[in-house]
């Protein structure tokens, strides 16, 4: 009773970031883009809530159960009248972007070299350069200099093909883990690889000895499609070897460490009509439970791959049609569905003060798309491990999505943080993330996947409030 009285005395308003829509089975659904709370509503409550949230100011109504009212508050669908949600987002943005102390995120390229000759490769530098001992030592010193305050360290290994530099990854991982263990730093790492060299032995060493718990491997469709798009530089295909490696990994994987393996499928006009065939092949090889499969838009992101522009779908075409068709097939076949929105401070690490891409030569960048282009470097690692910046750093850290009216007024702004900073800074088209085009459709698919996993029962999702997916 006292709780009911206190609720009655408070003034509330609807969040600016609410979405109400119906699932394909007619179930009423609600989502809030700040809390990422996702709710199922019965018919009676749905219309009462929609009516209440259409008002500028709200007070508790006894037409709703006190528990339902509390869920609306918990889920962020209603907020106290004095709350400024834009200021809340600014706080999250600034905290994530300008945290100089406890977090460090490094994307490390042990080599520029690659064994594939992908038709859409965005990397401008394709030389066979490997990180030498001097640069490796400087990289270790970056971490050592911060051990007094550093709490979380994440490294993403990429290339080129990073496993061509396996010995470098092994050497650095050993030293980094020793530092983290000694100083109580939480360490995590992932790798983006084409999968060609990722046999069972390498996989076990990466996971058991080097703390790699995330793998992303690209497969662009069935054998003939993939091998045409991602052939070996020496001639021949890469598909069969990658599938064989995945089968071997499935036999040795002990997932007590929660290893995640993502298969990325780059889709454009050259493979859209056959990309789904890959799902059938993975299923036939009993790899459904091992993998999370994600369709990705092929983009002519950098000057080095502008010749594929005509092959790329626009964001509207891809996210409204191609992606959804692929995901529906994925759910029908019982693959893991791993797409759910989350609150972000910034869209990626590129505009954060404590994040760098480290090239094999020791030069530092803010975005993968720039790596190896010296004119776009933001600095280098000095002998003592100090990061020495140049003026290029300012454009990344001065970027402020709150200056863009089309962003700050957008209902999906909490989920994208202003979109890709690289695209914004280079005035490229299709700036918005997928949520702009299909948030309701993807949430319906998420609901469908969870309902299917639970055997047709309704999926209670209010618990997602304030925690995301």
Helices 200-209 and 239-252, axial angle in degrees (round to 10): 50
Per CATH, domain 96-433 is 3.20.20.70: yes
| pLDDT number for residue 108 | 98
Q: Classify each residue of 284-293 as buried b or exposed e, where b means 16 or more C-beta atoms within 10 Å of its C-beta.
A: eeebbebbbb
Contact in structure between 436 and 412 (CB atoms under 8 Å) = yes
**Residues for the chain: how many in total?**
469
Q: Which two tokens stand for residue 265?
A: 């499928």
Half-sphere exposure of 296 (CA within 13 A, CB side): 17
Residues sharing a CB contact under 8 Å with residue 281, sequence separation 6 or more, in sequence order? 222, 243
The model carries a pTM of 0.90
Q: Where are the domains of the chain?
A: 2-83+453-464, 96-433
Give just the sign of the alpha carbon dihedral 412, 417, 418, 422. negative
pLDDT < 70: residue spans in the chain:
1-9, 61-63, 123-126, 255-257, 301-307, 428-429, 454-469
| pLDDT number for residue 63 | 67
| pLDDT number for residue 183 | 95
Quickly list DSSP for 97-157: HS--SSEEEEEE-SBS--SB--TT---S-----B--HHHHHHHHHHHHHTTTT--EEEEEE
Read off the DSSP letter of residue 402: G
Contact in structure between 67 and 2 (CB atoms under 8 Å) = no
Q: 206: part of which helix (H) or strand (E)?
A: helix 200-209
Q: Which two tokens stand for residue 383?
A: 């002998």
Task: Calculate the dihedral angle through the C-alpha atoms of 210, 212, 213, 216, rounding to the nearest 10 degrees.
Answer: -160
Radius of gyration (Cα) for the chain, nearest Å? Answer: 24
| pLDDT number for residue 65 | 75
């Amino acid at each position: 009773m006292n709780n009911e009285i206190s609720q009655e005395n408070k003034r509330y308003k609807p969040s600016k970031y609410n979405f109400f829509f119906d699932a394909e089975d007619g179930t009423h659904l609600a989502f809030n883009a700040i809390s990422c709370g996702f709710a199922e509503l019965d018919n009676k409550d749905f219309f009462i809530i929609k009516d209440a949230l259409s008002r500028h100011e709200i007070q508790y109504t006894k037409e709703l159960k006190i528990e339902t009212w509390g869920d609306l508050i918990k889920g962020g669908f209603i907020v106290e009248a004095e709350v400024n949600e834009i200021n809340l987002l600014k706080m999250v943005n600034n905290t994530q972007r300008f945290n100089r102390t406890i977090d460090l995120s490094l994307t490390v390229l042990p080599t520029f070299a690659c064994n594939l000759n992908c038709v859409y490769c965005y990397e401008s530098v394709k030389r066979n350069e490997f990180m030498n001992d001097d640069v490796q030592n400087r990289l270790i010193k970056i971490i050592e200099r911060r051990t007094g305050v550093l709490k979380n360290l994440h490294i993403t290994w990429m290339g080129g093909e990073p496993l061509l530099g396996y010995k470098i990854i092994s050497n650095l991982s050993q030293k980094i883990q020793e530092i983290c263990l000694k100083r109580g730093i939480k360490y995590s790492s992932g790798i983006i690889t084409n999968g060609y060299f990722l046999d069972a032995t390498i996989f076990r060493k990466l996971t058991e000895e080097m703390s790699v718990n995330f793998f992303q491997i690209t497969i662009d469709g069935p054998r003939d499609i993939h091998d045409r798009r991602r052939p070996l530089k020496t001639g021949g295909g890469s598909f069969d070897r990658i599938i064989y490696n995945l089968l071997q990994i499935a036999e040795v994987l002990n997932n007590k460490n929660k290893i995640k393996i993502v298969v990325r499928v780059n889709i454009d006009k050259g493979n859209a009509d056959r990309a789904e065939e890959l799902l059938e092949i993975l299923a036939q090889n009993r790899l459904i439970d091992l993998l999370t499969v994600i369709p990705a838009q092929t983009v002519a992101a950098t000057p080095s791959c502008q010749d594929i522009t005509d092959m790329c779908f626009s964001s509207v075409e891809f996210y409204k049609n191609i992606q959804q068709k692929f995901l529906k097939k994925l759910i029908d076949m019982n693959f893991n569905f791993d797409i759910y929105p989350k609150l972000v401070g910034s869209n990626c690490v590129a505009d954060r003060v404590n994040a760098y891409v480290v090239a094999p030569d020791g030069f530092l960048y803010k975005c993968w798309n720039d790596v190896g282009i010296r004119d776009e470097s933001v600095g280098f690692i000095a002998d003592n491990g100090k990061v020495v910046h140049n003026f290029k750093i300012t454009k990344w850290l001065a970027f402020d999505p709150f200056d863009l009216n089309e962003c700050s007024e957008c209902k999906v702004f909490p989920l994208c943080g202003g979109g890709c900073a690289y695209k914004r800074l280079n005035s490229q088209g299709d700036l918005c993330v997928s949520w702009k085009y299909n948030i309701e459709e993807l949430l319906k698919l998420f609901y469908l996947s969870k309902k299917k996993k639970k055997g047709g029962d309704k999926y209670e999702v209010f618990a997602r409030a304030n925690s995301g997916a």
